[in-house]
Amino acid sequence: MFHLIKYELRGKLLTILGICLSVIIGNLFLMTKVESWQIGVPVLSGFLGGAALVVIGISSLTLMSDYLYEDQGYLLFTLPQSGTSIMASRLIAAVIQISLVALVSAAMFGVLDQGRLFNAIFNQVELHELVYSILLHLWTIVSTLTFMYFCMVVGRIALKGKKIGKIGSFVIFVLLSIAKAGLAVGISSSFPQMVQIHSVTTMTMNVGSMIFDIVTFGILFMATSYLLEHKVDL
């Protein structure tokens, strides 16, 4: 599995470096406009970081698409790797890529803002709240990508054609997203117990919805791993 992670990161190295350099250069340019643009500078820096995260997120999705529809898949699926190893390596590589871009974006924003926002946050946030925020960041990446990978694999298996398979994957994603959201709302209504998380602002989480998300992730991860190993026919 670790060889797969290294292979995937190496394959995306230029993309990661390109995005990080774009963020750095963009923020260096914004530093020259602090006096004239004032409050617009940190806002634009935030948008730049957000755009970088969107691009690296799309890059993580396209690699799975290449595995399913392009020649890379022939090499990957002939290796003695289980579907679980393939899924785990793909998710770990995605977390590393997105986290690197997020760190560079946050660091450049901090330099541009002279650390004012981060100092204000750290003065009000305790250590366990910071750890929770980091774990929530990782969970959001992993659970979202697992859901999307499942839709892509199902679309690939159900619809053999390249173009129709990708369109079908999008339709499956939309339909399952609606169904998942409906189930989450129903479970939240049936189990209204809440957990409060005190931070800069008080956050609440529904216990039933949280358990539903964890169980759904486990099911989708195992289902995608099984389909990759036994049902994907290149």
Structural domain spans, the chain: 2-230
Q: Of 20, 5, 13, 15, nearest to 93 (Cα)?
A: 5
- Cα–Cα distance for residue pair 173/94, rounded to 1 Å: 19
**Residue 8 above 80 pLDDT?**
no
Q: Where are the beta strands (DSSP E) in the chain?
A: 194-198, 202-206
- Cα–Cα distance for residue pair 192/204, rounded to 1 Å: 11
Check residue 125 and report its DSSP letter: -
- What pLDDT is attached to residue 170? 84
**Higher-pLDDT residue of 37, 173:** 173
- Cα–Cα distance for residue pair 144/173, rounded to 1 Å: 11
DSSP H/E element including 43 = helix 40-69
- What pLDDT is attached to residue 222? 92
Query: Per residue in 31-70, pLDDT tens?
Result: 787 677 667 777 788 888 889 988 888 888 877 777 777 6
Share of the chain above pLDDT 90, in %: 6
- What pLDDT is attached to residue 220? 92
- Mean pLDDT of the 97-115 span: 83
- What pLDDT is attached to residue 4? 72
